[in-house]
Amino acid sequence: MNEYKKSKIKSKIAWGIAIFFALIQLVLTLTPFFFMIVNSFRKQFDMLQQGVFHLPDPWYFKNYFEVVTHGFFGYFLRSVIVVAISLILMLAISAFAAYPLARMKFKLNAFIYATIVAMMSVPMHVTLIPIFKLTTNVGLYDSLGSLIGPYVAFALPMSVFILTAFMKTIPKEIEESAEIDGCNKFKNFFKIILPLSKSGLSTLAIYNGVSMWNEFAFANTFLITPAKKTLPLALGQFKGEHSLNIPINMAVLTLSVLPMIILFIIFQDKLVKGMMAGAVKG
Amino acid sequence: MEKGRNIGLARAKARSTAKAATVFLLPALILIAIFIVYPVIDTFAISGFKWNGISADKIFNGLGNWKELLHDEMFWKSFEHNLIVMVFSILLQIPIGMLLATFLDAGGKKFNFFKIIWFLPYLMSSVAIAFLFVYALATNGGLISSLATIINGKRTTIDLLGKAPNALYTIIGVMAWQFTPFYMVYFIAGYGNIDTTIYEAAIIDGATRGQYIRHIAIPLLGPIFKTACTMSLIGSLKYFDMIWNMTQGGPAGTTELMATYMYKLSFQQFNMGYGSTVAAGMFILITAIALLFNKVFKVKEDY
């Protein structure tokens, strides 16, 4: 009994220490967010006068008004367009490619699969100059179209990898019975495989949607005109125009993070699963 | 007769399968060829030229650029910074992520609140994090300097981003803030994959939770641990977005990484010939380190 009591006390102390550190981690995580949100509600010069730990006095909402009326929605909309087009293309093309790799026997299957998977580890910076050259040559430089090709291509290897594994789990018998009923491979794909792959596709959509939404290096290289830039570039644009007005910059930041936080709250489990799927890519 | 017809049928079927496979695979293969395979080859090709990226005249330079790279102090310094970032990323993000996951796994559903809050930094883009921390760590009105002022009772400034040794370690800290949640989730999934009967059996045999974690769960997480290290390693060797928006490699090149150096050469100084050499060198180094790491770890697993 004495032993039991001792171990109980020990475990209570251990939990106490653990919760102490958990709270420290909580404070470390939240402080920058607190800084961002609180300061976005100040007037420009109030920040330095009141100090950062003081709540805004008065709460000032015009920063958001200013940001929204100065092109924020344009950046937002352009990001939505690029991500939507790239995602739809990417999902269709990767499902197309995964189908034969997962479910057909042909000579080069293993080789093609290995080649595609190997592409996961190519860093985008190695491709930046040639793709820059390519976009200028075909006249896509400084247009949203320049981003779609690279976004789709760089998301493909990982998506094909995940979808191939996913499609392998669909029982063979379903397809065989359809084939006896006179379905060819194309009908099989659209009528059976694609609908059954929905949950794999939605996981991939979330993971790749987040990384396309946040993509910076390609966008920063290919887009020059402010009226053509995507959301990750909006931050730099606003900072350039209001470099001394920190609260306005904080409002831009808050608005750009908000959609992600709302998405996270709605699709928490899916998002986490999607990120796990992306983990193989690193 | 019967046999011959069967072989004919099988062949016809194989042919039609091959045809269908080609049609399905073609779009993906074309895109990968245009945007990944060809560019990698082209980067190596351009690395042999002096070229500003715009004008038509490319001057063939043979191995000149590569010789320059071998003696380029800035490149090797950048590589060294990458290695420092890599080591500290692995030492900070993975153990902390694992501790947080262990805490959440032991606590179960009632700690969901912690999980949601702890995950938040990973939802921000690297660019947004860069801008946020430039202001949050500023000497004027930043969090740390304000805190120091309050503690000291007089105006105190702590320059975290503008001074030489501080800047790189500050960036390592911000990276830990950003990526630790990712490894946390990764290890949560790892714990989730351990069969609950193993835990029950251990408890019935009289193990405490601490013993279970130390002697059973952590060894079982071995492979996940290795993948996490590989991801952290590759990620830190090609790191770009946040540094570019936070310090652009400054002050005085002390936070320059291979990727920022390559970007500067190519798209600010328009020295795309040599920029390609740096990109190609980066590709070789990352591949070599990743392969080496995998080999070393495999040897260790054999013990």
Write the pLDDT tens digit of every residue in A135-151.
999 999 999 999 999 99
- B-chain residues near A107 (CB < 8 A): 18
- Shared domain check, B110 and B16: no
**Residue of A123, A236, A249 lying closest to B135 (CB–CB):** A249
Question: Looking at the predicted structure, is the pLDDT value of residue A281 above 50?
Answer: no
The 10 Å Cβ neighbour count of residue A189 is 21
Q: Answer whether residue B52 is part of any domain.
A: no
Within 64-93 of B, beta carbons closer than 8 Å to A belong to none
Q: Is B294 on the interface with A (CB under 8 A)?
A: no
- Please tell me the predicted confidence (pLDDT) of residue A103: 92
- Shared domain check, B143 and B41: no
- Please tell me the predicted confidence (pLDDT) of residue B303: 38
Element at B146 (helix H, strand E):
helix B143-152
pTM confidence score:
0.89
- Shared domain check, B105 and B28: no
Which residue ranges of chain B lie beneath pLDDT 50?
Answer: 1, 301-303
- Please tell me the predicted confidence (pLDDT) of residue A4: 77
- Please tell me the predicted confidence (pLDDT) of residue A278: 57
- Please tell me the predicted confidence (pLDDT) of residue A134: 94
DSSP symbols for A19-67: HHHHHHHHHHHHHHHHHHHHHHTS-TTHHHHH-TTSPPSS---HHHHHH
Q: Answer whether residue B59 is part of any domain.
A: no
Write the pLDDT tens digit of every residue in A11-59.
889 889 999 999 999 999 999 999 999 999 988 877 777 777 778 878 8
- Shared domain check, B70 and B36: no
Residue in A closest to B276 by C-alpha: A129
- Shared domain check, B99 and B20: no
- Shared domain check, B131 and B12: no
Tell me what the mean pLDDT of segment A194-205 comes to.
Answer: 88
Tell which of B24, B110, B175, B256 to mutate to test the A interface (max A CBs under 10 Å): B24
- Please tell me the predicted confidence (pLDDT) of residue A265: 81
Give all strands (DSSP E) within B23-143, no chain letters.
49-50, 59-60
- Please tell me the predicted confidence (pLDDT) of residue A76: 93
Tell me what the mean pLDDT of segment A156-168 comes to.
Answer: 91
- Please tell me the predicted confidence (pLDDT) of residue A282: 36
Residue in B closest to A98 by C-alpha: B25
Q: Is B39 on the interface with A (CB under 8 A)?
A: yes
- Shared domain check, B124 and B226: yes
Q: Give chain A's largest Cα–Cα span.
A: 81
Tell me what the mean pLDDT of segment A212-235 comes to.
Answer: 94
Instruction: Show Cβ contacts of residue A206 under 8 Å, excluding neighbours closer than 6 positions.
Output: A263, A267, A270, A271, A274
Tell me what the mean pLDDT of segment A262-274 comes to.
Answer: 76
Closest by CA to B138, choosing from A28, A231, A248, A35, is: A35
Q: Beta strands B49-50 and B59-60: pairing type?
A: antiparallel
Q: Is B257 on the interface with A (CB under 8 A)?
A: no
Distance CA A162, CA A156 (A): 10
Identify the domain containing residue B87 by its residue range: 64-301
Q: Is B10 on the interface with A (CB under 8 A)?
A: no
- A-chain residues near B267 (CB < 8 A): 132, 221
Task: State the amino acid at position A87 in one-letter form.
Answer: L
Q: Answer whether residue B230 is part of any domain.
A: yes
Tokens linked to B287? 């591949």
